[in-house]
């Protein structure tokens, strides 16, 4: 009772001690408040957001869903410095061959034969593009040596053909430019004949740029340059309507993609069907064109549930 009375007689002292006791009991409360207001931990972005930003490379047509867009963006459509270097190398190699042809023709006053050789090269390039296109469309896989990446690319092209119109130029032709460099460069170093170089320059040039002719065949008329439209209408380059037949059932025709001049001849004589039968009976390998129309490499651009993700 005496202790209680002392508290009543000294109110200021009691309140002072009470304040000190309160400060001793709650020093961390003040410190925590200060820490909370001055130190802000960095928030890590969600992984999903990073993936979406990094893979947003192309804009699909309205009919293609967001799920399809994210899947397709794993295929890089952008040109790299390596792609550009190979294209520059291929173009330089072709230019050397063409200059040698013109120089030798001028010295020998022989123009008709080199020009004729160039025309032959142009026609054979179309045939070669068809044979090559048929081969990688129907045989092999992504694991095939040397040609695996191109086979995989063409299978993706059959599934989403509109992506080729968004692929940058050097990205589109760099693989062919690399092959042309290794093939034509030795000829440039060894040979000087105008006829040979007339054939080589035109044939290899058409082969190297065939993928760009292919891309133009998928382009809309309003977006193509007038010169390209004129060449397509004249039959110099493969036309849009002719190549469109290649992406319709039964998916086994119109393989040539330079001028398309061979397509009607090869399809009417069923040359590729005969080659497929030979391969099947000799090696037991079925071409992909024998598959059902709903096989994994046919065109799809509908809802996510109808799309097989790779």
Helices and strands per DSSP (H, E), number in the chain = 15, 0
Q: What is the extent of the structural domain holding 126? A: 79-304
- 297 pLDDT band, cuts 50/70/90, is low
pLDDT exceeds cutoff 50 at 256: yes
pLDDT digits (tens, 9 = 90+) for 37-46: 444 444 444 4
- The answer to whether residue 6 sits within a structural domain is no
Residue 56 lies in a domain: no
- What is the dihedral sign for C-alpha 27, 33, 38, 40? positive
Q: For 76-110, what is each residue's pLDDT tens digit? A: 788 999 999 999 999 999 999 999 999 999 999 99
What does the pLDDT look like over 125-153, one tens digit per residue?
A: 999 999 999 999 999 988 989 888 888 88
User: Is the separation of the CB atoms in 157 and 172 below 8 Å?
Assistant: no
Question: Does some domain include residue 47?
Answer: no
pLDDT at 225 over 50: yes
How high is the pLDDT of residue 1?
Answer: 41
Distance, in Å, from the CA atom of 34 to the CA atom of 16, rounded to the nearest integer, reads: 25
Residue 292's nearest CA partner among 257, 249, 254, 253 is 249
pLDDT for the residue numbered 299: 57
Domain count, the chain: 1
The reply to whether 14 falls in a domain is no
Q: How does pLDDT run across 185-200, given as a tens digit for each residue?
A: 999 999 999 999 999 9
What pLDDT, on a 0 to 100 scale, did the predictor assign at position 175?
92
Residue 20 scores a pLDDT above 50: no
Q: What is the pLDDT of residue 293?
A: 57
- Confidence band of 122 (pLDDT split at 50, 70, 90): very high
234 occurs within a structural domain: yes
Q: Is the dihedral of CA 124, 175, 134, 69 positive or negative?
A: negative
Q: Where are the beta strands (DSSP E) in the chain?
A: none
Confidence (pLDDT) at 308: 35
* Per-residue pLDDT, 292: 59
Q: Is 124 exposed, middle or buried (0-12, 13-18, 19+ CB in 10 A)?
A: middle
The candidate with the shortest Cα–Cα distance to 60, out of 79, 77, 83, is 77
Res 212: pLDDT:
96
CA-CA distance, 228 to 234, in Å (whole number)?
Answer: 10
Q: Global pTM?
A: 0.71
Model confidence at 248, in pLDDT bands (50, 70, 90)?
Answer: confident
Q: With H, G, I as helix, E, B as strand and everything else as coil, classify residue 179.
A: helix
Q: Per the domain annotation, does 193 fall within a domain? A: yes
More confident residue, 101 or 17: 101
pLDDT, residue 40, reads 47
Do the domain assignments include residue 16? no
235 is written with which tokens? 């039959």
Identify the pLDDT of residue 60.
46
Distance of CA 133 to the CA centre of its chain: 16
Is residue 43 assigned to a domain?
Answer: no
């Amino acid at each position: 009772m005496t202790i209680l009375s002392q508290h009543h007689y000294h109110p200021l002292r009691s309140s002072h001690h009470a304040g000190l006791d309160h400060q001793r009991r709650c020093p961390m409360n003040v410190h925590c408040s200060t820490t909370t207001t001055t130190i802000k931990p960095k928030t890590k972005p969600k992984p999903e957001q990073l993936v979406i930003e990094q893979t947003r490379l192309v804009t699909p047509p309205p009919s293609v869903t967001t799920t399809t867009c994210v899947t397709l963006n794993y295929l890089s459509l952008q040109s790299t410095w390596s792609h550009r270097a190979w294209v520059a190398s291929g173009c330089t190699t072709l230019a050397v061959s063409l200059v040698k042809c013109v120089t030798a023709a001028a010295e020998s006053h022989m123009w008709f034969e080199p020009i004729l050789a160039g025309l032959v090269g142009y026609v054979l390039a179309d045939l070669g593009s068809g044979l090559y296109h048929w081969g990688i469309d129907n045989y092999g896989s992504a694991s095939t040596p040397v040609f695996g990446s191109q086979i995989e690319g063409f299978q993706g092209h059959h599934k989403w053909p509109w992506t080729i119109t968004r692929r940058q130029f050097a990205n589109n032709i760099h693989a062919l430019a690399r092959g042309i460099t290794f093939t034509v460069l030795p000829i440039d170093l060894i040979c000087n004949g105008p006829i040979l170089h007339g054939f080589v320059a035109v044939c290899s040039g058409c082969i190297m740029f065939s993928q760009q002719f292919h891309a133009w065949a998928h382009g809309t008329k309003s977006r193509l340059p007038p010169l390209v439209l004129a060449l397509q209408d004249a039959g110099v380059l493969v036309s849009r309507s002719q190549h469109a037949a290649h992406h319709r059932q039964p998916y086994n025709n119109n393989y040539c993609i330079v001028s398309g001049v061979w397509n009607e001849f090869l399809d009417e004589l069923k040359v590729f069907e005969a080659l497929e039968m030979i391969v099947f009976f000799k090696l037991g390998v079925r071409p992909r064109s024998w598959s059902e129309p709903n096989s994994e490499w046919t065109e799809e651009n509908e809802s996510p549930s109808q799309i097989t993700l790779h």
